[in-house]
């Protein structure tokens, strides 16, 4: 129906022109920005996912940098330890040289160099730094506290004066109805190995009887409730010693491993990141303390769950019960009564202790829980070789006797450095693999984000060309529609 008051055709053409111009603008924006989401209305869900992926990608990039820093720091420490190893080698040569009868008058000169090298070792330990952080002075060895295994109500033999046992002294044990002779090869520090050797020779496992010093007595404790240890006699310093036998009685459990950090204040509580390690019949079981569900502090129940999982992972079949006292910070791991399970070598490592040494932590993931804690051994001479009973700092080679002692300490110091470098190497390897993993993850997240946000330039160019043609067509149609009322006016002429 011809009308002049309403130009429906023009309105329709104008609407399509606006649509086509909007499509053209959208295509131009996507081509110019390279993104198909230029406003939240384009894809609200996609934008939300994209922002999270973008944040994770940025964090992963920094995490790779953190891993790279960690590797560089560990390499710095390893380089210093390599120099320490070379110095220890020279010191061992000097100690060996001092044991030559041809240098009686030159030992003072040999010792002068030896003492200078001790000073150099201390300087290296104090001055090896990475970005201002001292690495080898013992600050970052971590807080590691040994656990204690107790055997409840088991048989014991208390040998009066046994603390002064010396080479040649003897102990006669009645164990499993057999007589086992033990001859001391050294002092109290070596009697455990002497007992283990005698047990092995008699067909029993080493460690079945544990030796410990209680004031002046040497106490031998059976490591089960089987009551195999029934009597003992001993000759100490050429005289018969008084031996007190305590028989085993019924026990509610065979053994208890107590892991108490011995720390103070807030450090006495277990926190996420602390580590627990112990041996079950010689097999190492370890796990890292995690928070309970909901992010709350660890509890007995949550630790029990971790303990069970760690036992399964280690392939150990044992019924162990964890009990955690949040007040004292004590964690006890107990065996069931009658189980032939030996808990030993317990170690608790506090992740970040203010009353003990701490660790260097590196975030290498997208979560605050993605932390790798690094500990670096103390390379000061007051610690090197201390496992031999004497620290390297207390040695000299000014006499034949001192040189002989120094060689034993140097052997222990070399072992300490070798172990420390092996630990550094293991940590560097872990960071290298983690860095590779982070790079792969970042690449995959980038690809996922690209699929959501990146514009297909070829598709958008095609959309732009189509929108331009339609816009031109709409302009032409609008022009024609605007002329239609003028054509109708001719009817009045």
The per-residue DSSP string of 332-365 comes to: EEEEPTT----EEEEEEEESB-SSS-B-EEEE-S
Q: What 3 state SS string does 413-459 have?
A: HHHHHHHHHHHHHHHHHHHHHHHHHHHHHHHHHHHHHHHHHECCHHH
pLDDT at 249: 54
Backbone angle region of 344, left / alpha / beta, with phi > 0 → left and psi within -120 to 50 → alpha: beta
Q: What is the mean pLDDT of each run of 10 residues along the chain (493 residues)?
A: 74 87 84 80 83 89 92 94 96 93 88 95 93 87 58 74 88 90 86 88 81 83 75 89 76 59 49 80 84 80 90 88 79 72 74 56 84 87 86 92 92 93 92 92 88 82 87 86 76 68
Token digits of residue 11: 């309105």
Q: How far apart are CA 305 and CA 313, in angstroms?
A: 12
pLDDT given for residue 355 in this prediction:
39
CA distance 21 to 464: 10
What's the rounded Cα separation, in Å, for the pair 37 and 44? 9
DSSP letter, residue 256: E
Sign of CA dihedral 481, 485, 491, 493: negative
4 contacts 485 by C-beta, under 8 angstroms: yes
Packing angle of the helix pair 457-488, 8-33 (nearest 10 deg): 160
Closest CA to 152 of 343, 316, 347, 327: 343
Query: Residue 69: CB partners within 8 Å, gap ≥ 6?
Result: 362
With contact defined as beta carbons under 8 Å apart, do 208 and 222 qualify? yes
Task: List the domains of the chain with CATH numbers.
Answer: 53-142+372-444 (1.20.1330.10), 151-246 (2.60.40), 254-356 (no CATH)
- Distance (Å, whole) CA 169 – CA 235: 6
Read off φ and ψ for residue 354, nearest 5 degrees: -85, -25
CA distance 433 to 173: 53
């Amino acid at each position: 129906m011809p009308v002049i008051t309403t130009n429906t055709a023009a309105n329709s053409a104008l609407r399509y022109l606006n649509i086509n111009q909007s499509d053209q603008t959208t295509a131009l924006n996507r081509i110019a920005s390279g993104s198909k989401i230029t406003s939240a209305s384009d894809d609200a869900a996609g934008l939300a996912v994209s922002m999270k992926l973008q944040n994770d990608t940025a964090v992963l990039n920094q995490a790779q940098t953190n891993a790279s820093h960690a590797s560089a720091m560990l390499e710095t420490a390893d380089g210093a330890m390599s120099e320490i190893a070379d110095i220890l080698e020279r010191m061992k040569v000097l100690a060996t040289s001092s044991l030559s009868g041809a240098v009686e008058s030159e030992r003072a000169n040999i010792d002068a160099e030896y003492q200078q090298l001790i000073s150099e070792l201390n300087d290296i330990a104090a001055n090896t730094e990475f970005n201002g952080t001292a690495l080898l002075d013992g600050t970052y060895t971590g807080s590691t506290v040994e656990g204690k295994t107790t055997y409840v109500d088991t048989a014991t033999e208390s040998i009066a004066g046994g603390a002064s046992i010396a080479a040649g002294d003897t102990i006669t044990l009645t164990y499993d109805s057999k007589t086992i002779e033990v001859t001391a090869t050294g002092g109290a520090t070596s009697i455990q190995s002497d007992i283990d050797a005698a047990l092995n020779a008699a067909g029993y496992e080493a460690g079945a009887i544990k030796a410990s010093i209680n004031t002046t007595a040497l106490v031998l404790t059976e490591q089960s409730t089987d009551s195999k240890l029934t009597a003992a006699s001993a000759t100490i310093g050429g005289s018969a010693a008084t031996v007190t036998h305590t028989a085993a009685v019924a026990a509610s459990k065979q053994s208890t491993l107590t892991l108490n950090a011995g720390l103070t204040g807030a450090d006495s509580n277990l926190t996420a990141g602390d580590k627990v390690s112990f041996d079950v019949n010689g097999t190492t079981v370890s796990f890292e303390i995690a928070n309970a569900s909901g992010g709350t502090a660890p509890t007995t129940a949550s630790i029990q769950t971790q303990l069970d999982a760690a036992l399964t992972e280690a392939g150990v079949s044992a019924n162990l019960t964890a009990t955690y006292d949040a007040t004292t910070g004590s964690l006890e791991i107990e065996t069931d009564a009658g189980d032939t399970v030996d808990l030993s070598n317990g170690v608790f490592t506090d992740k970040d202790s203010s009353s003990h040494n701490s660790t260097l932590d590196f975030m290498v993931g997208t979560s605050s829980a993605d932390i790798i804690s690094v500990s670096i051994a103390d390379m000061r001479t007051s610690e090197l070789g201390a496992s031999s009973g004497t620290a390297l700092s207390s040695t000299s080679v000014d006499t034949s006797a001192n040189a002989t002692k120094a060689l034993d300490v140097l052997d222990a110091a070399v072992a300490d450095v070798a172990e420390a470098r092996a630990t550094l190497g293991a940590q560097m390897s872990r960071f290298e693999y983690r860095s590779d993993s982070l790079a792969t993850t970042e690449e995959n997240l980038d690809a996922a984000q690209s699929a959501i946000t990146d514009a297909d330039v070829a598709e958008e160019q095609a959309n732009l060309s189509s929108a331009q043609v339609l816009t031109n067509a709409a302009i032409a149609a609008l022009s024609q529609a605007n002329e239609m009322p003028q054509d109708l006016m001719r009817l009045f002429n």
